[in-house]
């Protein structure tokens, strides 16, 4: 029941190579992320084989011994990777970056980083390439499977293959059905069934990606493959056909699926069933040489360690180079470095602990306790860095100034104190309608306009509610309620000036005229002025790398010139908005570009001469930046904002 399967070793090699190629942005494997799904099917096969063999032999499963074996096999390499990454992050990451790493690594040591990253996902989520431990989500899913699966298999009577088949099939269909429900059923309908599911519904697309119940059908495919392998031993011709078909399916998934594919769901069946077919083909396949050669054996043996190290290598390299992009040469070097460093980790840590070259005579229980003690030793500094702003003192006087979370919270507190909801009660009434970009404009106008003569309010509305998109389905489902709040708001009816500020995109900008006409109809002020603001410039890699450049002594002007920006896309969106304002044909409706304020003469300002950040991420303004933006706006339209 536990014989070595060299083709599975080769499958591990295929899986990890796909993942690494995908993460170094190899254009020919847009769906390389399916390597993780290959790993899940392999785990489902091997773990089911191991546990069923134990049930057949002993009538039960020694769950503590099983989990202790998993601990010895997996924890030492994980601990070494997290500790080494923590040390490197201390020198390479900004306070915000180190804080994020510490939080993720803390949860990774508890094997719940998938829940942490699901909970963190959303509009203000940091870019993936700034999180050195993001990849640990899949390890957490695996560990949760190790806890859940033995308990489930104990429900089946000894040697009852029919009972096992029924149980595994139920898991498969239940998990796949969950994917369908959370992918396609209207979120408000699910929330009506049970409010307890609403937190999952709101982040449904990320829930099905990160959380274990939505991935169980992939493990179940591996378990069903094991049951099939007990009954069916294909002849060489059939084995070759099965294995060839499986490899083609995995390859097709890696090439044709993309990050825009709704995943996992039905799309994951392509690589998962392909993996099962390769395993069923076995060694009798004439195509097995593709998976059982020296190269695939070398990579497959160290695949776990390669997976562990590859992502920190990529993220920390980008942090060291203060870059966000990877060119072909860098991608090649990072790929090779990941394989070599992964093998070093395998040879120095993973294999010796697994095969008891280290701590040979230590029993499972003491080894588990030692592992927990090591985890605690690492958890303490991680928790401290997480709770203390990523140790901003590393940056001297700039540490607190560049605390990005504090800058974000500062904008939220200002909004809640000054511009949120409420009622107009004085002076000229200015209403800003929009998403978080609207909040920035409202915060800025409140700082700039005389408080005794102006009353500024912000009314939240998502850009996707102007032009809904399938990718934002859970939020789109809330648009009727959001529009109802706008249509019934006394703020809309009473405002003298209505400003629209969103993170526009082209398709949404095309529909801006319908919003203008609707708001004009709702207004009770005959002389109401309508103003649409353009899209902001989003500097790639800002503000993470700016922190290091300030510490290195570069001047603000030199730093501002080093960030890559896309003027062409902002120009396209702004032109579309201008056309929409003209199409609305409303007297007094105006359009204002943010671009000349951010980048006068195409020389952008993201840090001022006082070394203050004007943006706390690559699209949202700090209070200082919002004030500067609003000053330009007020100067541009003196008739709309008379002093």
Whole-angstrom Cα distance, residue 267 to residue 33?
A: 12
Strand pairing class (497-501; 529-533): parallel
**DSSP annotation string for 232-243:** ----HHHHHHHH
pLDDT greater at residue 524 or residue 481: 524
Give the chain's largest Cα–Cα span.
88
- Let me know how long the chain is: 643
List, by residue range, all CATH 3.40.50.1110 domains of the chain. 401-636
Q: What six digits make up the tokens of 117?
A: 């990253």
For 498, the token pair is: 């209505």
Listed in sequence order, the residues at least 6 apart from 218 whose beta carbon sits closer than 8 Å to its beta carbon are: 37, 40, 41, 44, 264, 268, 272
**524 backbone dihedrals φ, ψ, rounded to 5°:** -100, 5
In sequence order, what are the residues at sequence separation of 6 or more whose Cβ sits closer than 8 angstroms to the Cβ of residue 445? 430, 432, 454, 456, 499, 630, 633, 634, 641
Both tokens of 372, joined, read 């927990």
| Of the candidate ranges 77-81, 247-251, 477-481, the one whose mean pLDDT is the lowest | 477-481
Q: What is the pLDDT of residues 423-465, one digit of tens each?
A: 888 889 999 999 999 999 999 999 999 988 999 999 998 877 7
Structure tokens at 138: 């899949």
pLDDT band at residue 612, thresholds of 50, 70 and 90?
confident
For 83-104, how does the pLDDT look when each residue is reduced to its tens digit (9 = 90+)?
A: 999 999 999 888 888 999 999 9
CA atoms within 13 A on the CB side of 151: 7
Q: Which of 103-107, 307-311, 584-588 has the lowest mean pLDDT?
A: 584-588
Q: 3-class SS at 621?
A: strand
Instruction: Judge whether residue 159 has pLDDT over 80.
Output: no
Please spell the DSSP secondary structure of 548-577, one letter per residue. Answer: HHHHTT--HHHHHTTS---HHHHHHHHHHH
Distance CA 636, CA 613 (A): 24
Q: What is the mean pLDDT of residues 281-304?
A: 88
Q: What is the mean pLDDT of residues 327-345?
A: 95
32-35 own/partner pairs: CB under 8 Å, 24+ apart: 32/254, 33/257, 33/259, 33/263, 34/250, 34/253, 34/254, 34/257, 34/268, 34/270, 34/271, 35/254
165-199 in b/e form (b: 16+ CB < 10 A) is: eebbeebbeebbebbebbbeeebeebbeeeeebee
Instruction: Say if residue 508's pLDDT is above 80.
Output: yes
Average pLDDT value for residue range 186-203: 60
- Model pLDDT, residue 201: 63
What is the residue-averaged pLDDT of the chain? 88
Per-residue pLDDT, averaged over 500-519, amounts to: 89
Mean pLDDT of 137-157: 92
pTM value is 0.84
Is residue 61 a contact partner of residue 150, using CB atoms and an 8 Å limit? yes
* CA–CA distance, 462 with 243 (Å, rounded to integer): 48
Q: Which residue has the higher pLDDT, 375 or 481?
A: 375
Token pair recorded at residue 98 = 């180190």
**pLDDT value for 474:** 52
**Distance between CA atoms of 207 and 199, rounded to whole angstroms?**
9
**Which of the listed ranges 215-224, 404-413, 427-436 does the model predict with the highest average pLDDT?**
215-224
Higher pLDDT, 358 or 278: 278
Averaged pLDDT, 101-109: 96
SS3 (DSSP) at 296: helix
Domain 401-636 sits in CATH 3.40.50.1110: yes
As a whole number of angstroms, the distance between CA 287 and CA 515 comes to 60
DSSP, collapsed to helix, strand or coil, labels residue 435 as coil
- Would you say residue 193 has pLDDT above 70? no
Residue 124 reports pLDDT greater than 50: no
**CB distance 182 to 214 below 8 Å:** yes
Instruction: Write the CB contacts of 332 (distance below 8 Å, at least 6 apart in sequence).
Output: none
The closest alpha carbon to 183, from 203, 199, 197, belongs to: 203
Cα separation of 70 and 84, whole Å?
A: 22
In the structure, what pLDDT confidence band is assigned to residue 205 with cuts at 50, 70 and 90? confident
DSSP 185: S
Residue 332 has pLDDT above 50, yes or no: yes
- Per residue in 527-552, pLDDT (tens digit) is 999 999 999 998 877 887 777 777 77
233 pLDDT exceeds 90?
no
Per-residue pLDDT at 582 exceeds 90 = yes
Beta-sheet strand order (sheet of 590-592): 454-460, 428-434, 497-501, 529-533, 590-592
Band the pLDDT of 188: cuts 50, 70, 90: low
Helix residue ranges per DSSP H, 236-268? 236-256
- Residue/partner pairs of 310-313 with CB below 8 Å, 24 or more apart: 310/16, 310/19, 310/20, 310/23, 310/135, 310/334, 310/338, 310/342, 311/23, 311/132, 311/133, 311/134, 311/135, 312/81, 312/84, 312/85, 312/88, 312/132, 312/133, 313/337, 313/338, 313/341
Q: Is 438 left (phi over 0), alpha (psi -120 to 50) or beta?
A: alpha
Q: What is the pLDDT of residue 190?
A: 59
Mean pLDDT of 487-504: 91
Q: In the predicted model, what is the mean pLDDT of residues 40-67?
A: 92
């Amino acid at each position: 029941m536990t014989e070595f399967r060299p083709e599975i070793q080769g499958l591990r090699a295929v899986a990890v190579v796909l993942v690494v190629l995908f993460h170094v942005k190899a254009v020919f494997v847009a769906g390389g992320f399916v390597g993780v799904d290959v790993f899940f099917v392999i785990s489902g096969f091997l773990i089911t084989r191991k546990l069923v063999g134990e049930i057949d032999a002993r009538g039960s499963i020694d769950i503590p011994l099983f989990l202790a074996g998993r601990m010895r096999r997996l924890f030492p390499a994980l601990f070494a990777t997290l500790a080494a990454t923590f040390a490197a992050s201390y020198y390479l990451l900004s306070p915000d970056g180190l804080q994020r790493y510490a939080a993720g690594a803390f949860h990774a040591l508890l094997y719940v980083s998938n829940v942490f990253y699901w909970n963190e996902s959303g509009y203000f989520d940091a870019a993936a390439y700034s999180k050195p431990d993001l990849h640990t989500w899949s390890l957490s899913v695996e560990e949760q499977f190790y806890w859940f699966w033995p308990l489930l298999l104990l429900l089946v009577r000894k040697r009852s293959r029919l009972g096992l088949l029924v149980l595994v099939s139920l898991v498969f269909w239940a998990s796949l059905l969950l994917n369908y429900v959370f992918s396609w059923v209207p979120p408000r309908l699910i929330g009506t069934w049970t409010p307890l599911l609403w937190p999952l519904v709101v982040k449904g697309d990320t829930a099905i990606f990160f959380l274990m119940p939505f991935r169980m059908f992939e493990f179940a495919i591996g378990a069903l493959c094991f049951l099939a392998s007990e009954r069916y031993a294909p002849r060489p011709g059939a084995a070759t056909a099965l294995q060839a078909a499986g490899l083609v399916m995995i390859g097709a998934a890696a090439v044709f699926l993309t990050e825009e594919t709704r995943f996992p769901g039905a799309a994951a069946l392509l690589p998962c069933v392909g993996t099962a077919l390769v395993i069923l083909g076995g060694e009798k396949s004439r195509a097995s040489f593709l998976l059982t050669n020296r190269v695939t054996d070398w990579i497959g043996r160290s695949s776990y360690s390669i997976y562990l190290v590859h992502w920190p290598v990529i993220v920390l390299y980008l942090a060291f180079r203060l870059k966000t992009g990877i060119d072909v040469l860098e991608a090649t070097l990072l790929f090779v470095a990941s394989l070599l460093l992964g093998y070093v980790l395998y040879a120095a840590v993973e294999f010796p602990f697994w095969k008891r070259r280290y701590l040979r005579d230590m029993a499972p229980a003491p080894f588990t306790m030692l592992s927990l003690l090591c985890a605690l030793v690492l958890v303490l500094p991680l928790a401290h860095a997480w709770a203390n702003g990523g140790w901003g003192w590393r940056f001297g006087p700039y540490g607190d100034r560049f605390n990005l979370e504090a800058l974000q919270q500062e904008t939220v507190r200002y909004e809640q104190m000054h511009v949120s909801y409420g009622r107009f009660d004085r002076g000229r009434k200015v209403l800003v309608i929009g998403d978080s970009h609207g909040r920035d404009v409202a915060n800025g106008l409140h700082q700039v306009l005389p408080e005794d003569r102006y009353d500024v309010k912000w009314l939240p509305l998502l850009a996707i509610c102007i032009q809904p998109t399938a990718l934002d389905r859970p939020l789109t489902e809330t648009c009727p309620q959001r529009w109802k709040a706008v249509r019934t708001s006394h703020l809309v009816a009473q405002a003298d000036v209505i400003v629209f500020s969103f993170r526009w995109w082209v398709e949404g900008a095309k529909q801006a005229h319908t919003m203008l006409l609707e708001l004009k109809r709702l207004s009770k002020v005959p002389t109401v002025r309508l103003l649409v603001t353009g899209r902001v410039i989003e500097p790639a890699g800002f503000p993470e790398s700016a922190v290091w450049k300030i510490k290195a002594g570069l001047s603000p002007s030199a730093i501002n010139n080093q960030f890559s920006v896309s003027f062409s896309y902002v120009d396209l969106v702004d032109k579309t908005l201008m056309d929409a304002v003209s199409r609305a044909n409303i007297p007094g409706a105006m359009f204002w570009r943010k671009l000349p304020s951010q980048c006068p003469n195409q020389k952008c300002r993201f840090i001022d001469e006082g070394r203050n950040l004007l943006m706390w991420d690559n699209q949202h303004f700090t209070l200082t930046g919002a004030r500067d933006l609003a000053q330009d706006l007020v100067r541009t339209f003196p008739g709309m904002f008379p002093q």
